[in-house]
A and B are shown apart, each in its own frame.
Chain A
Amino acid sequence: MAKVTIRLTGSLEKQAKSSSLGDQLQTISEPVWDAAHGDPNEAYVASLQRHRFVSGGPEGRISIQIGADPVLGSRVEAKRGTLARALGRIR
């Protein structure tokens, strides 16, 4: 759980890759992003990254991934479950 991926599921085909849906995913990811920045480990917060991925083909999908430095991220997640808690609040 050192990183979180938020992606659209279901058979949306081309719609799943549209920029507007990507923007919606970005909005959904905001609480996770904000919560991760609230962690007391400054080095972990400094290493946080958020990326948007779009896969190709008619079944392509768009996803937002939030992650941190692997070593710091796994330490923080094991200690406090920061991303897990943040993800648990998404509706």
Chain B
Amino acid sequence: MWVRSQRFPISDGLIVAALRSGLAETWGTAGTLTVGTEVPPTKTRRMVTVRDDSGLAVGRTQPRRQGINVWADSSVDALNLALDAMRICESALPVGDVIVSANQFTGPYKIDEDVPYTVVVSTVSKVLTHYYFTFIATVKAAAAA
């Protein structure tokens, strides 16, 4: 029986890298913005996380649903940060031969949390506003070594 020899790549690291560089242009970094696959142990004023919810592989491609969580210390900043992140995902992806397309965006929509995150900004405790959006990043398998 013929068996396809291929391996699907990790894709969320590429999305994190695209968001880090794209968001740094507008939002800066300097410890106020963190982008990663998990929420940092020490919360910052603005945070973005990328989660891979995977999807059904068909042949050489796999459409993976990505969940993007965005927090900021004001509701306007949170929505703007989420919309900027969406723009970057739409424009900066695809990346090389790994992510071939990014589409089917849903959101951003506001998440009302049970216990919201808080950060201290200039000795003032501020509640972080949470937004969420999803999209499908279609990744392409590479020939297995």
When distances are taken between beta carbons in the complex, the residues of chain B under 8 Å from A89 are 56
**Total A-B Cβ pairs within 8 A:** 42
What is the number of residues of chain A that contact chain B, defined by CB distance less than 8 Å? 14
Q: How large is the interface on B (under 10, 10 to 19, 20 to 34, 35 or more residues)?
A: 10 to 19
Interface residues of A in 4-56 (CB under 8 A from B): none
> Which residues from chain B contact A78 at a C-beta distance below 8 Å?
67, 69, 111, 130, 132
Q: Is the CB of A81 within 8 A of B56?
A: no
Contact status of A88 and B67, CB under 8 A, knowing A74-B132, A75-B111, A75-B112: no
Q: Tell me, yes or no, whether B54 is within 8 Å of chain A by CB.
A: yes
- CB-CB under 8 A from B53, the residues of chain A are 81, 84-85, 88
Q: Is the interface of B mostly helix, strand, loop or mixed?
A: strand
Q: Which residues of A contact B114 (CB under 8 A)?
A: 75
Residues of chain A lying within 8 A (CB to CB) of residue B69: 78
Q: Chain B residues with Cβ under 8 A from A91's Cβ?
A: 56
Given A1-B106, A81-B67: A88 in contact with B55 (beta carbons within 8 A)? yes
Q: A residues within 8 A CB of B65?
A: 1, 81, 84-85, 87-88
Does chain A have a CB within 8 A of B64?
Answer: yes
Contact of A90 among B51, B56, B106, B132 (CB under 8 A): B56
Output the least CB separation between B80 and chain A (Å): 18
- B residues with CB within 8 A of A: 51, 53-56, 64-65, 67, 69, 106, 109, 111-114, 130, 132, 134
Report A's interface with B, CB cutoff 8 A.
Answer: 1, 71, 74-75, 77-78, 81, 84-85, 87-91
